[in-house]
Amino acid sequence: MLVTIAGVDLPKEDAVNALQLLEFSATFGKVLDVKKGQAEAVLRDLINGRSTRSGKFTSVVQFHIQLLSVIQSESGSPTSDMTHDNDSWFKALKSCISKSKLKHMDFIDVTDGGYANLDSSMKLRLLVFLCDEILGTE
């Protein structure tokens, strides 16, 4: 069964996570420099399975990087330019998961090939996880 949220048809089991992502973006968008409509575009690309083009990151990966950058800067970790290559943002994501008190994400293969094989539901859960981690920062 599908539900429509922000003009995107997604599986019913993803509705809560989609709403949480949109609410987080609406509430903290100014502080985190989330552009108007960016979260909806991310959700649309996530569900439609949009892949990278010409070595550029998708809006989904760009949003991961944006959230990870906030977490790195707030945690006092050395910040890196995660847009340089795939490996650097994967390392930052893996580090964030391993440092988290929420160990339910430890099983995810956050390597380039592993991430590419994740379904849209898991990628959405990862985005919501990062949003939750940001809530724990100042």
pLDDT-above-90 percentage for the chain: 27
pLDDT, tens digit (0-9, with 9 covering 90-100), for 52-66: 454 567 888 889 889
Encode the chain in three state secondary structure: CEEEECCEEEEHHHHHHHHHHHHHHHHHHHHHCCCCCHHHHHHHHHHHCCCCECCECCHHHHHHHHHHHHHHHHHCCCCCCCCCCHHHHHHHHHHHHHHCCCHHHCCCCCCHHHHHCCCHHHHHHHHHHHHHHHHCCC
pTM tops 0.75, yes or no: yes
